[in-house]
Amino acid sequence: MITHHKFENLGGANHGWLNAKHHFSFANYYDPQKLCHGELMVINDDRIAPNTGFDTHPHQNMEIITYVRKGAITHKDNKGNQGRTTAGNVQVMSAGTGIYHSEFNLENEETNIYQIWIKPKTVGIEPEWNMAEFPKEPVEDSLQLLVSGDKTAPLNINQDARIYAGRLNKGIKVKHNVIGKAYVLISEGNIDVNGNKTEKGDGLSISDETSLEFEALNDAELLIIEVPGKENAR
């Protein structure tokens, strides 16, 4: 089953410095039909104004992945980690027993990120943070694995989950085999996903599907998040 969530129908809030769209219930936005998707708890499409950001705050027992779509985000935490992640690249944080961090857009332009929260496989682990840079060349036959829980990807998290991404030139078709539940994010352009015509910012929740075919209707970019599923997950 594929459920198409159009960008204009997403929940969200505009705080001035932060314009956020929520693919799932988050903060003051609540939809009982959109609580999670398997172990995937949060996808926020955040636009952060120049020289603003999230002040130091805590997290515990959550896997937090940030994909930068535009601009850059600068991370700093109480474990001594710090770094600047630029467009097309990813940072991951296993909050574990507890971590305090800040994330700021220190650039002179708006930064746009996907912030993704996934339940951990094991609670109470030592907190970790890491980042990686990825090639920007368009893909032709398969999407690139960015994040996984089995150390087969450049970035590792504490869950049996995978995040793939890729830029597609117009007319390119890519097939992808799905494991578990999946959620597709259209980061740029227009993509046909198994007959579903999508636009920039859209999301698609995937259940009980073994394969997906993507056709770029123009130059485009997408992400796929695969997570373990549960009977009561939406």
Confidence of residue 229 (pLDDT cuts 50, 70, 90): confident
**Domain co-membership, 107 together with 24:** yes
At 30 the three-state DSSP class reads: coil
Q: CB-based contacts of 68: which residues, under 8 Å, 6+ apart? A: 85, 86, 87, 88, 89, 90, 91, 111, 112, 113
29-50 pLDDT, tens digit each: 999 989 999 999 999 999 999 9
**Domain co-membership, 26 together with 119:** yes
Can you give the CATH number for the domain in which 154 is found? 2.60.120.10
Does some domain include residue 125?
Answer: yes
**Domain co-membership, 35 together with 126:** yes
97-131 pLDDT, tens digit each: 999 999 999 999 999 999 999 999 999 999 999 99
Domain that holds residue 209: 144-227
**Domain co-membership, 126 together with 152:** no
**Domain co-membership, 219 together with 172:** yes
44-75 pLDDT, tens digit each: 999 999 999 999 999 999 999 999 999 999 99
128-177 pLDDT, tens digit each: 999 999 988 999 899 999 999 998 999 999 999 999 999 999 999 999 99
Q: Exposed/middle/buried for 134, CB within 10 Å: 0-12, 13-18, 19+?
A: middle
Q: Look at residue 233 and tell me whether its pLDDT is greater than 50.
A: no
Does some domain include residue 6?
Answer: no
Report, as an integer, the average pLDDT of 175-190.
Answer: 96
Gap between the Cα atoms of 207 and 94, Å rounded: 26
Last residue of a domain, one of 132, 154, 183: 132
Does some domain include residue 3?
Answer: no
Last residue of a domain, one of 100, 132, 164: 132
The pair of structure tokens assigned to 220 is: 């485009």
